[in-house]
A and B are shown apart, each in its own frame.
Chain A
Amino acid sequence: MKKILSIIILVLMASRIIAQDFKYGKVSKEELEEKYYPLDSSANAAVLYKNRQTYFDYQQNIGFMVITEIHERIKIYNKEGFDWASKNINYYNSSSDKEKIIGLKATTYNIENNKIVETDLSKKDVFDQESNKYWSQQKFTMPNIKEGCVLEWNYKIISPFKRIEDLQFQYEIPVKKIEAKIEIPEYFVYNRRHKGYYPITSNEETKGSTISLFDRTREGGDSRQRNVTSTVTETKVNYITKLEYYNATNIPAMIEEAYVSNLDNYKTAIQYEYSELHWPHEPIKYYTTSWENVVKTIYDNFDFSSEIYKSNHFSEDLNLVLAASPTDSQKITGILELVKSKIKWNDYNGLSKFNGTKKAYKEGIGNVADVNLNLVSMLNKAGFKANPVILSTKSNGIPIFPTIDGFNYVIAAIEVDNDLILLDATEEYSIPNVLPSRDLNWQGRILRENGSSAWVALTPSKPSETNSKMSIVFNDQGIIEGVKRTQYNNLNALNYRNKYAKIKDDDIISKVEAENGTMEILDFRITNKNEIYKPIIEMYKFSSEDLSEKIGDKIYFKPLFFDALTKNPFKLEKRDYPIDFGTPFLVDNMVSIEIPEGYVVESFPENIAIGLRENYGTYRFNIKIEKNMINVYSLLQISTPIFPSTNYDEIKEFYKMIVNKNLEQIVLKKV
C-alpha cells in the first residue's frame, strides 16, 4: 500500500512539474527553483522551451515575406552557464536588401525573498554589429544574471528573401521542449534535410489560405477636373498552405568528442533549401531538387559551361605542354602542373567564379572554381573526357540531398575506362588521385554537360603508406645508435610535404627529435622533397641514451623503440559519432637489432596477428631471432576510411591490444 501511495505521489509530483505555462512572462517558481537539469545534472544551462514559427506574409506591392517568430526560455543553473545569457541574432544585411528584426523583448527572472523579480532588457543595451559584407548581428547580454535565473526573449525576423533558417533542435545544452510550426504556401517548394542523430518527426497538414490583391483604378481626373473617382478592385486569390508541426522533448546536449571532423554535421536540425517556384500561370521555376536540376542550375548560374570552354587564353601554354608529353599520363600531369604553376589558389572556396577562368589565368590568382575549371577546360581541350566534380569540404559538412548550398568546392575528374582520375590543382603537392585532406569528405558529384551526374567516392581506394626500416646497435657505452629509413606514399607524402617541404633540414631535425623524446639526430636527408610524383624518403642516423634501460645485468627496450604506439588514441567510454581516419592506411616497421656482445635474449614479446571484422583492419607483430640479430616486424593496416560509431568498442579494443603489445619489452641478459 505504501508503495502504491508513493507511486501516486511521484506521479502527481511529476505531472505538477510538467504542467507548465509557456506563454511569455509565465515563468514558474518551479522553473526558478530547479537546481539542476533532471536528466543530466552536469548541464550548466538548458533550453526550457523554444517556440519557432515561420510563415509567409503577403504584402501589397512587395510580395511574400518570410516571417520567423522566435520565443526562447533559457534556464541558467550555475556560473558556467552564464555564457547563455548573451544572445546573437544574425540577419542578412547587404547593401541592396536586408532582413529586419522587430519586436525584440527580453526578460530576466530571479527569485528574491520567495518572490519572482523581473528585469527587462533595455533597448539601449542592444548592440547592432556588422559581421561581414552580408551579415549583421543584433547582440545583447541579459541584465541581473544570477545562478538559477531564467531568461526569456522573443523577436521576429522579417525576410524579403525566401530564406528559411535551419530549424535547430540540438545545442551544447539540453533542451526540455521545442515546438515549431512552419507554414509554406504551395507556390514555394523547399528541400528538407534532417541532419544529426536525434530522431525528429513532424506532423503535416494543409489549409486553405487567401490573399487579397487590391488594384486601384482612377477614373475621370485629367489635370483640370477635380472630381476624380478611384475604384479599388479586390481580387481574392486562394491557395493551399502546407503546415509542418514539430514537437520534441528532452533532447540531450551535444558534447564535443575527439576525432570528429565537424561537430555541426551531427547537431540535430532540419535544413530548408528553396528549390522550386510554382507561380500560377507560369512554368515551374526550378532552383534545385533533382540532380539534373542541380547540374543545370550550376552550369547556368555558375558559368560552368562558358568557363569550361573559354579556352583561348591558355592555348599557347597548353600546346607547349602537349608537345612535350608523349603519353596520356604525362599529358595529365603536365596539365595539372601547368595550372598549378599558372594560378595560385587564394584560399577561397565556392562554386561561382571569383576572377573567372580567363582573368584568373592572366593574373595568376583565383578561387577554387577559377583554378579547377581551368583544369577541366584544358583537359577537355587536350582530348580527355573531363568534367567538374562538386563536393563539400570537411569543414562544410556532408551533403546528402540534391542541394546547391551543400557544396562549396569543385575539382576535376577524367573518365577513363570505367575509372576516374580526380585532380585538384589548388594544392601544390597534390597529384592525380591524391587529393588534400579537405577534399576527402564522403562523396562528390560529377556533373556532365549533357545534364547527367553521378556520385563519386572521394576517399582514396589506395592506402596511404608509411614504410620504415631501422637497424640498431648498442655501442661500447651501451648507448643506442641507429639508422632509420622511412618512405611515405600518397596522402602521407602530401601531408609530409605540407609539413616539412618548406622548412630547412635543421628545423625538420629539431621537430623530428622533439616528436621522439630525447633522441639526437646526426645525419639527415630527405629525398624527393619536391619530386611530388615520387614517394618521400627520409633517412637519418640517430643516437639515444633513453631508448633502453640498463637495470642490473639486464637491458630492457621496446622492440619498436620510438615508433612504438604507447598510447591508445581512443579514450572515450562510449562514442556517438563516426570515426573518421580520412583515408585507408598502412604503417609497417621493420627493426633489426644487433645483440651486443656478451648478452643473450632473456625474453621477448610473443607474436600476434589480430584483425577487425570483415578485414577492415589488421595488425601483425612478429619477432625472429637469428644468431646475434633480433628482427622485428610490425604492420598496421586500416582498409576503410570511416567507421560507424557502432564499431567504436571494437576499434578501441583493437588499439588497446596494439598498445599493450607495443609496450612489451625485449630483455637482454649478460652471460
Chain B
Amino acid sequence: MRIIITLAFLSLNFFSYAQDFDFSSLLIPENLKEDANSVIRFENLSIDIKSQREMIISYQTAITIYNDLGNEHSNLTIQYDKRRSINNVKATIYDNKGAIVKKIKRSDFKDYSAYDGISLFNDNRLLQYNYTPIAYPYTIYYEYEISTSNTAFISGWILNGSYSQSVKSAKFSVKYPTDIALFKSEKNFKGFEIMKTEKAGFLSYEIKDLPALKWEPYTPALFDFLPTVKIGISKFNLEGVDGEATNWKEFGKWYYDNLIQNTLELPEATKLKIKSLTANTSDPVEKAKIVYEYVQNKVRYISIQVGIGGYKPMFASDVDKLGYGDCKALTNYTSALLKEVGVASYHTLIYGGEKRNFNPDIASPQGNHMILYVPDANQDIWLECTSQKDPFAEIGSFTDDRDALVLTPDGGIIKHTKVYKTEDNLQTTKGNFTIDSEGNINADVYIESKGTQYNDNLLNNDGKSQKELDLIFKKYLSNINNIKFLKIEVFNNKEAFSFEENLAFTATNYGVLNGHQLLIPINAFNNNSDAPPRIRNRKLPFEISRSFLDIDEVKIMLPKQLKIEFLPEKFELNTKFGTYSIELIKIDDSSYFFKRTLKIVSGNYQKEDYEPYRNFRKEIVKYDNSKIILIK
C-alpha cells in the first residue's frame, strides 16, 4: 500500500553461450529434480556500469519446467520507463529433447502500462509474454538487455529466489569504471560453495548445483537464509540527478540537499494557522502531537509514481493545496509544519512490511517507504504520516523494530525504530457468559488491544459497517454457532493507544446436550487458534514473527438446576516459545471465574525446534477446548 520505490529490475550480456548449450532436459541430474517444479539450467546476470550515467544490464537464463506449478517461471515481465529502455529481448522454447518448439520475438510480447491497481498514476511500462505449454517438461531460454541512466539502483543477487526451483548454475557479475568505487555486502554465504572473482573494475560470483527448497510453514524470508549480494557505487545518477556518496552520512546529505531541502516551503496562511494552533504550548512533543493530528485531519494517502516523484517528495505547498499525497509527500508536509513551529524532524527511508533492515555497508537507495523521525530527549518519536488513524508516535508492525535511514541536513544516520515488547502487544478480554439448562449462551465481552495487536484490529475493524462487523465477529467467534449480536461497538481510543471492542450476543446450543449431560466449552471468547501442521523431516529454519500476550478474564454462570459432574483443572505450560495457562476459580456453586493467559515470543529458531513448538500449540488447542460437564 505504501510502496515508494519500485525495485530496479534484473538483466544481461553475452549470448554465444546459449548457442552451444544442450537444452535437453534429460541431462538434468537426479538430485536437482527432487522437489523441483523447475530447474534453472543456467542464469547469467551481468551489469556493466559504463559511467555514472550509463548502465547496461544483460540477462540470459534457461529454465526447464516440469509441471504447471513451475509455469510462472515462463511468464516473462520486463519493466521499462523513460530512463530505462529494453534494447533486446527474445525467447525460445525447447522440448524435452532440446529441439526448438517456438521462437518468440519482441513483437510477440504485450506492451502495456504497469498500472499497479493502487497508484492514481504510475508511468512505468511492461513488456510481457505468457507461454502456454503444450507438453512437459519444456525449457524456456530468454535473454534481454536493458540500458538505463539510473545507476543508483543496481540489482543485487539473490540466489535461487524461488521455492521448488533448483539451480544448475548461476552467475552474477559487475563491471565498473575505475573512477567509481564499488561497495558490496555479502550475506549468508556460509555453507554454500560460491566462486568469487574480484579484480580492479570487476566482480563476479558463481554457484553450481543447488537443490530445490520446499516451502515449509513458519519459514523466514528467503533472503534471510540464502546467499545474497548487494551492490552500490560511489557516483550514481537517480532519475537525472547526479549523486556521490561513499557512506550513509554522505548519501543522506546528498538525498537531503537534492531531493528534500527545497520542498519544504509552506503558504503563509498555513504557517500562521499552525503557529496559532500550537501557541499555547512550549513543549516540543506537545507541539508535534498537535501538528500530527492536524495532518491526520487534513490529508489522505494517494500514491502517484512519476519519474523522480518516486523518490522526491511533492512540494509541501502542493500537499497543502490538494490535501493528498504519497508517503514521501505526507512525511515532508508534516516535517515542514513541524519546522514552522520550531520542532526538528527528519525524513526517514525504511522498509515497510516484513522486517528488513537497511544494509549498513551499501550507501545507495534502499527501502520502500518513508516515515518521519522526531528526536526528543526522552524518547525517539516515529511518525507514520500516511495513517489517519494511528495514535501519535505509534508506528505498529508495519515499520517497527528495524534499521532505517534518517536524513538530516548534516547527513544520513542509521537508526533502529521503535521496538514493541511482548507485554506491549497485549490483548485483554473481559466479560461474562450465562448458560441456561438447554445450553444457550448469553454473553457480554469487552476486548482491548494494544501494541501491534492494536494495529491488527484497527485495520480490520475500524470504520466498518454493522453488517461487516457482524460477519467479522462471527468469524472471530467461529467456535460459536448461531450467534445473534445484540451489540457490536468498536472504538479507536487514540489517547490510550488501545482499540476497544464491545460485544453482546446470544447463541443457541452453545453447550452440547448429550443425553442427560450438558458439555460447556470454557473458552468461549478467544478460541480460534490452530496448531501448525506436521512437517516430516523439516529442512528449513523456522521463525515466529510476532510476539504477543493475551489475557482473558471471564465470569461463567452455570444453570442452577444442573449438577456439576466435571470441572477442568488448572493447567500450565512453560516453554521457550511462550507460556500458557488456564484456571477456573470458584465464585459460588453456580459461577466460576475463568482465567487464561497465552504469551508467544517471537524469534528465529532451529528446525529442530519446530516439533516442540507444534506440540506446544497442540496442547493449547486441546486445553482451549476444555469443557465443564453438567448433569441433569
Contacts and interface: CB of A to CB of B under 8 A. Distances in A.
A256 to B, nearest CB: 9
B190 interface: no
B388 interface: yes
B535 A133 contact: no
A436 to B, nearest CB: 15
B481 A346 contact: no
Contacts of A129: 113, 115, 121-122
A82 B475 CA distance: 27
A131 B120 contact: no
Contacts of B470: 572-573
A80 B115 contact: no
A510 B533 contact: yes
Contact of A86 (B302, B481, B536): B302
Contact of B322 (A80, A125, A513): A125
B629 A551 contact: yes
Contacts of B465: 42-44, 255
Contact of A513 (B135, B389, B509, B534): B534
Contact of B536 (A85, A506, A546): A506
B516 interface: yes
A550 to B, nearest CB: 11
Given A127-B121, A365-B132, A518-B618, A659 B481 contact: yes
Interface string B201-222: 0000000000000000000000
A290 interface: no
Given A141-B120, A502-B67, A130 B112 contact: yes
Contacts of B115: 129-131
Contacts of B621: 517-518, 546
A7 to B, nearest CB: 30
Contact of B132 (A344, A502, A506): A344
Interface in A121-165: 125, 127, 129-133, 139-141, 143-146
Given A344-B133, A656-B481, A665-B519, A510 B471 contact: no
A605 interface: yes
A610 to B, nearest CB: 15
B interface, over-half SS: mixed
A377 B23 CA distance: 37
B112 A132 contact: yes
A513 B533 contact: yes
B80 to A, nearest CB: 14
A656 B322 CA distance: 53
A145 B120 contact: no
A218 interface: no
A664 B535 CA distance: 32
Contacts of A132: 112
B300 A145 contact: yes
A205 to B, nearest CB: 40
B618 A520 contact: no
Contacts of B135: 364
Interface residues of B, number: 60
B531 interface: yes
B513 interface: yes
Interface string B511-534: 011111101000000000001011
Contacts of B464: 80
Contacts of A86: 120, 302
A377 B476 CA distance: 54
B68 A656 contact: no
Central interface residue in A513, A518, A546, A556, by most chain B CB within 10 Å: A518
Contact of B509 (A80, A344, A660, A665): A660
Contacts of A510: 533-536
B391 to A, nearest CB: 15
Contacts of A602: 515
B533 A143 contact: no
Contacts of A513: 533-534
A665 B514 contact: yes
Interface in A482-517: 502-503, 506, 510, 513-514, 517
B515 A667 contact: yes
Contacts of A144: 321-323
Interface in A344-378: 344-347, 363-365
A131 B114 CA distance: 9
Nearest to A653: B482
Nearest to B304: A127
Interface string B461-481: 001111110110011001001
B297 interface: yes
Interface in B302-346: 302, 321-324
Contacts of B475: 571
Contact of A603 (B478, B517, B531): B517
B607 interface: no
10 contacts: A127-B120, A145-B300, A146-B297, A344-B134, A347-B132, A364-B134, A506-B536, A571-B483, A605-B514, A656-B509
Given A129-B115, A130-B113, A130-B115, 7 more contacts: A127-B121, A139-B121, A346-B132, A510-B534, A513-B534, A556-B514, A656-B481
